[in-house]
Amino acid sequence: MGLLEGKVAIVTGAARGIGRAEALCLAAEGAKVVVNDLGGEWDGAGSDARPAERVVAEIRDAGGEAVPSFESVCDFAAAKRIVDGAVAAFGRLDLLVNNAGFVRDRMLFNMSEEDFDAVVAVHLKGTFCMARWAASYFREAKHGGSIVNTTSQAGLTGNVGQSNYSAAKGAIAIMTLTWAHELRKYGVICNAIAPTARTRMTERTFGTITVPEGEFDAAAPENVAPLVAYLGSDDARRRDITGCIFNVRGGDVEVFEGWRTVKGIQHDGRWTASALEVRMSELFS
């Protein structure tokens, strides 16, 4: 029996890359899966139902249960239809995996308003829209649940040429911590992953990552999926694993520590700019 036997999951952006690997892994662990994906290009342009349908076919061919969804996570009403559709198809919802996204990288002085808004919409607003309706369902259903968001190293430490993407991913990390506090009393855990894996987005940014034949492929998106499956399990809820940001890279699983004070200087009363000039080096020594 799989870790998620009898559970129902939604995976957004599930037609390719990490999302596809997550959908297949959740299904292999016994979950019934809603495979949500518009089928757009790496920059969000266009749509194509075939990639999501192929993942659904893969799951069904392996003996699992899945249905496709082609709704946009950026649309508040459409996000509700995705959640309602999962319940209509399978009778319940237990796990939401927010993975949908694309990139439009530009240096700050070259980034258009459209590029900024589009990337923030799919990553940040899309995560909010989906979680908003899933959380409402979980509260009313009273059987608990799990939300797994997708942040990024770019959102935690910044990355050149990714003002839009980094801003959205950083905000997702903070929303994860906020939702963990808000939803705990309803038996819902909320965590985020910051995966390091090969996708269409990373290949556009960093180029193609190749591995010699026979060696472990540390960049394979399939390496990310087992942690997501675990975070949707009853064991993760029993252990109250919530409000965590995980880095997943190859065979490594790490927990990030958030913003914290590392050094300080004190003064009796209000600082002056001149006094700060004298002592500022103490903060960086």
Quick: pLDDT tens for 242-260.
999 999 999 999 999 888 8
Q: Tell me the CB-side half-sphere exposure of residue 79, using CA atoms within 13 A.
A: 25
Angle at 257 between CA 256 and CA 259, to 5 degrees: 130
Q: Is residue 231 part of a domain?
A: yes
Residue 270 to residues 17, 266, 275: CA-CA distances in angstroms?
53, 10, 10
133 contacts 86 by C-beta, under 8 angstroms: no
Give the DSSP letter of residue 119.
H
Residue 28 inside a domain? The answer is: yes
Could you give the number of structural domains in the chain? Answer: 1
- The overall average pLDDT reported for the chain is 93
- Give the pLDDT score at 258: 86
Q: Are 35 and 55 in contact (CB under 8 A)?
A: yes
Residue ranges making up the domain that contains 212: 8-284
Contact 214, 173 (CB under 8 A): no
2, part of any domain: no
Q: Is residue 217 part of a domain?
A: yes
Q: Which residues contact 47 (CB under 8 A, 6 or more apart)?
A: 38, 39, 40, 70
Per-residue model confidence (pLDDT) at position 259: 87
Residue 1 included in any domain? no
Whether residue 150 lies inside any domain: the answer is: yes
For the whole model, what pTM was predicted? Answer: 0.92
Residue 212 is assigned to a structural domain of this protein? yes
Q: Is residue 47 part of a domain?
A: yes
Average pLDDT over residues 4-33: 97
Q: Which residue has the tokens 């903060």?
A: 283
pLDDT over 80 (residue 139)? yes
CATH number of the domain to which 171 belongs? 3.40.50.720
Catalytic machinery residues: 152, 165, 169
